[in-house]
Amino acid sequence: MKKTIAEKLIIILISTVSGLLFFLALFMRKPYQFAAFAVVIAITLIFMRRTGFFGHMHGLIKDHRSTFFITVAVLLMILPFALSSFPYWIGVFVLIGIFVALAVGLNVCVGFVGLLDLGYVAFFAVGAYSTAIFTRKFPDLWYSVWLAFPVSIMLAGILGLLVGIPTLRLRGDYMAIVTLGFIQIVYLTTGNWDGLTNGPRGFDEIPAPKIGSFSLGENFNLFGIEFQADVLLYLMVIFFVGLIVFTCHRLSHSRIGRAWVAVREDELAAEAMGVNTMRVKLSAYVLGACIAGCCGVLFAVTQNSIIPSDFDFMKSALLLCMVVLGGMGNIAGVVIGAVLIALLDEKLQFLHQYRMAIFGLTLIVMMILRPAGLIPSKRRRLELQFGSRHQEN
């Protein structure tokens, strides 16, 4: 009994220390300070991996999952209140949460099923623009934003179905080219259809969600302390991110999840075993589109404005980097990869366009040192090990 309590305390302590280090990294304004801090953390992580610390912690977390997830949830809930004096960083974490959800949705297509989708952000744009148009259509309804969630998700899912039926018959590079053309169509449409999307002007003054007469986009008082409006928007985003991560995790361990992996491993073998490969791939594609549509709603109502450049191809490339860096097929790895890249993108703003070169260099190094990502799925790690041994023989 004492051993169990001690193990739980270790998990809580490690999680809290990690959160404090994360806070410390945020408030390092000098670029050289942040770079030095990142180098020290990287060396420390390498040393801890060499000593087997991560393996031991993985075993503890596996035995006490509920303690770990409750600790992480509490830290995430405390975060906006601790940063109430820094609304800028709360807004950054809102964006990071949206990118985490987008990366998890893309992981369903790329990581679980093996579909190289370069047009994923197109469904993100559909969710955002449909929200803006819907709220403009019904400005007097306080629940118009809440109605925009099912409407936008449904529209993104229908579009995913229409695009997926002909596209998913293709494989590999051919599918990538088609999805790349699809995102360009959506991008050009949003930038030129003045009557529907306002063209390059986009939409502004998109209302925040309301509960009765109270808007989540307004400041509020709690125990006599005034908090920024972004705190409530952050909590709303965290709720939807948690729901999306939980849903994808449960689906990955269900019958449909095993079918996704079977199609990714060998589509012909899966079809020979009786798996309807077209239906399986279409289900993953539509689910990813629905998640992107939901994230589009969150983006529109938290940022209050959208323009076509928010949904260009570079966003798809960035999301793909998050999935590859974190570990395709592993939800925990994808979440960590999304947080790291989104945070680095923010901290490296002083480098302007050169930060993309740093991302590219980081991916090259990762593909050499850890081709399966930071936290690869067990199955994918075994695939890469078997492939390398086969080539040596």
pLDDT, tens digit, for every residue of 231-277?
A: 888 888 999 999 999 999 899 888 888 888 888 888 888 888 888 88
Q: Would you call 197 helix, strand, or coil by DSSP? A: helix
Is the predicted pLDDT of residue 102 greater than 90, yes or no? yes
- Do 92 and 197 have their domain in common? yes
Residues 275 and 262 in one domain: yes
**Selected residue with higher pLDDT from 219 and 196:** 196
pLDDT recorded at residue 312: 85
- Residue 52: both structure tokens together: 């087997």
* Position 64 in a domain: yes
Confidence of residue 27 (pLDDT cuts 50, 70, 90): low
CA angle 73, 250, 234 (to 5 degrees): 30
Same structural domain, 70 and 92: no
Domain assignment present for 381: no
Residue 369 counted as domain residue: yes
Which pLDDT score is estimated for 390? 47
Give strand ranges (E) for the chain.
210-211, 214-215, 220-222, 225-227
Looking at residue 28, its pLDDT comes to 67
Give the CATH number of the domain where residue 181 resides: 1.10.3470
Report yes or no on 392 lying in a domain: no
Residue 365 inside a domain? The answer is yes
% of the chain residues with pLDDT over 70: 84
Tokens encoding 244: 């999306």
Q: Give the residue from 42, 83, 128 showing the smallest Cα distance to 306.
A: 128
Question: Last residue of a domain, which of 61, 82, 103?
Answer: 82
Q: Which amino acid is at 369?
A: L
Residues 344 and 354: their CA atoms lie apart, in Å, by 12
221 pLDDT above the threshold of 80: no
Q: Same domain, yes or no, for 184 and 317?
A: yes
Burial class (CB in 10 A: 0-12, 13-18, 19+), 239: exposed
User: Of 195 and 20, which is predicted with more confidence?
Assistant: 195
pLDDT digits (tens, 9 = 90+) for 281-331: 999 999 999 999 999 999 999 888 888 888 888 888 888 888 888 888 888
Task: Give DSSP secondary structure letters for 55-107.
Answer: HHHHHHHHHTHHHHHHHHHHHHHHHHHHTTT-HHHHHHHHHHHHHHHHHHHHH
Most confident segment among 126-140, 153-167, 352-366: 153-167
Residue with the larger pLDDT of the pair 387 and 182: 182
- Distance of alpha carbon 183 from alpha carbon 178, whole angstroms: 9
Q: Are residues 113 and 68 in the same domain?
A: no
pLDDT digits (tens, 9 = 90+) for 366-392: 777 777 777 776 665 555 554 544 444
Confidence category of residue 106, pLDDT binned at 50, 70, 90: very high
Whether residue 388 lies inside any domain: the answer is: no
Name the residue with tokens 């938290």.
302
**Residues 91 and 51 grouped into a single domain:** no
* pLDDT interval class at 158 (50, 70, 90): very high
* Co-location of 182 and 62 in the same domain: no
The verdict on residue 215 lying in a domain is yes
The token duo for 60 is 């503890």
98/47 same-domain check: no
Report strand pairing: 214-215 vs 220-222: unpaired
Find which of 13-22, 64-73, 124-133, 332-341 is predicted with most confidence, using mean pLDDT: 124-133
Query: In the predicted model, is pLDDT for residue 336 greater than 50?
Result: yes
Q: For the residues 34-63, what does the mean pLDDT come to?
A: 72
Same domain, 303 and 366: yes
Of 17, 52, 82, the last residue of a domain is 82
Looking at the domain assignment, is residue 364 inside a domain? yes
| E strand or H helix that includes residue 42 | helix 31-50
Domain's final residue, options 36, 62, 82: 82
Give pLDDT tens digits for 127-155: 999 988 888 887 777 677 888 889 999 99
Rg of the chain over Cα atoms, rounded to whole angstroms, equals 22
Q: Is the same domain home to 146 and 224?
A: yes
38 and 99, same domain (yes or no)? no
- CA quadruple 309, 313, 314, 315: dihedral positive or negative? positive
Q: Are residues 230 and 345 in the same domain?
A: yes
Residue 222: the pLDDT is 65
Element (H, E) at 22: helix 2-26
Q: Rounded mean pLDDT of the chain?
A: 80
How many structural domains does the chain have?
A: 2
Range of the domain at 222: 87-374
